[in-house]
Amino acid sequence: MNYAEAEKRLKSCGQEHVLAYWKKLNKTEQTALLQQIATIDPKSVKYCQSALAKGAEVPDSSKGRAPKVAVLKGRKLAEAIAAGEKELKAGRVAALLVAGGQGSRLGYDGPKGCYSIGPVTGAPLFYFHARKILARTIRYGRAIPFYVMTSEANNAATVKCFEENDYFGLNPDDVFFFTQGMWPGMDRDGRIILDAPGHVFMSPDGHGGLIAALKRSGALDDMKKRGIKSVFFFQVDNPLVEIADPAFIGYHILNKSEYSLKLCAKRDPKEKVGVPMQFGPTFRMVEYTEMTDEQCNRRGKDGQLYFLYGSPAIHVFDRAFLQREAGKAMPLHLAFKKIPYVDAKGQVVKPAEPNGYKFEKFIFDILPNAKVAAFLAFDQKDEFSPVKNAEGGDSPATCKADMQAKWKRWLAEAGVEVKGDLPIEIDPAYAVDAADLRRWGLCLGAD
């Protein structure tokens, strides 16, 4: 793109000020700015502006009902596992990881997936995800292609982490990296913010950016070519997740579902998780901020919370559903943040108060479009302990403790008692569940 093309593009969406400092930039900075402008789609700019004009509309959730959530046991559980295993043995299951977030609460300088979490080995989050996929690949004899969404900011470091670790044992041909989109930040008037005279402030377009990125990158075509039907979606910060869990895959298949969600009982009525609600024939994820106090605390006749279940973002999608959604616009969510900007004198200012908007799409906004959705309960302590904060709740310390408590339960089931505070870690490729440990008749521990 040259200067004239850049100017034309910016004019078409009222953002000519992006070139205000052009003459003060050196050649390298000018080239970089032109490259950045080439990635800014005027249609997207107008879409952000219209979201801004609408403001942070809070949808009315007062008529929402709690959806029917299955708790699988006995014969039903066995049937779901059998159906899931059939899909895995036929090679119709893929794993899809969103790892493009900025991890600002954790404050780690690098992709969150490279963060060391192994209680004994210090292995990174990516290790636990990849090794679980490897374990199921070995168990079922068919590859589970692994699609990893990164952002422009962390793609190179993510790929390097996989390369340096020999893809954690996975076949590189079955690992597909793709980057999500970036949106420019805007001030209250819908003007794009420059965070340096030659640089537009951009941020990742949210985990919902996944849908467009899957299409743009060719990942969806790749899934189709490989005969994938079910796509297991998970987040990078939860090493407890049971990736491609046969029971969940099977439940999804048996229900002919397009979008299935694993849900766990909230730890407290106001826990900061999305709550799926039913509105007539469709479902929608209601954010905790949208729920009234009455809704949060409402109880059924059994004394249980009426809106008991929250979503830890563990989903299975039908591939064809993702394909159908890929061409559609998704709603934008606004986050009012402190964004560095260039003042009238060309100086960069770090504001003390929020001054601009970031725009994000959320994956669960496609839930209302699913013709069939299914909800499956699971026990939070077994599958969900995210690393969100540096300290306190949902931190590396709580996550490591939860990982070890889970392995201790497995070992106890296999007849091994772990005494005291001995740190333990089990390579998921060695045992992906307690049954594996029993099968091997051995266990690994720290010495």
Binding residues for ligand UTP, per CB under 6 A? 98-105, 112, 149, 180, 204, 206-207, 209, 235-237, 388
Q: In the block, which residue shows the tokens 């725009």?
A: 359
Beta carbon of residue 259, minimum distance to ligand UTP (angstroms, whole number): 17
Beta carbon of residue 104, minimum distance to ligand UTP (angstroms, whole number): 4
Nearer CB in complex with ligand UTP: 140/317:
317
Beta carbon of residue 234, minimum distance to ligand UTP (angstroms, whole number): 8
Beta carbon of residue 125, minimum distance to ligand UTP (angstroms, whole number): 9
| Measured distance CA(393)–CA(395) in Å, rounded | 5
Nearer CB in complex with ligand UTP: 72/214:
214
Helix (H) or strand (E) holding 403: helix 396-413
Of 270, 264, 237, which Cα lies nearest the Cα of 390?
Answer: 237
Which amino acid does the sequence have at 108?
Y
| Burial of 60 per CB tally in 10 Å (0-12, 13-18, 19+) | exposed
Three-state DSSP class for 251?
helix
Of 371, 375, 396, 373, which Cα lies nearest the Cα of 386?
Answer: 396
Nearer CB in complex with ligand UTP: 99/214:
99
| Burial of 304 per CB tally in 10 Å (0-12, 13-18, 19+) | exposed
Beta carbon of residue 116, minimum distance to ligand UTP (angstroms, whole number): 16
Beta carbon of residue 366, minimum distance to ligand UTP (angstroms, whole number): 15
Distances (CA, A) of 36 to 124, 154, 191, 198, 224: 32, 17, 16, 10, 32
Q: Which residues contact 393 (CB under 8 A, 6 or more apart)?
A: none
- Which residue number is nearest to ligand UTP in terms of Cβ? 101
Of 434, 407, 419, which Cα lies nearest the Cα of 118?
Answer: 407
Nearer CB in complex with ligand UTP: 98/175:
98
Three-state DSSP class for 441?
coil
Beta carbon of residue 16, minimum distance to ligand UTP (angstroms, whole number): 28
Nearer CB in complex with ligand UTP: 99/443:
99
Beta carbon of residue 265, minimum distance to ligand UTP (angstroms, whole number): 21
Of 374, 313, 363, which Cα lies nearest the Cα of 84?
Answer: 374
- The first and second tokens of residue 158, run together, are 């993510």
C-alpha neighbours within 13 Å on the C-beta side of residue 101: 22
Nearer CB in complex with ligand UTP: 229/385:
385
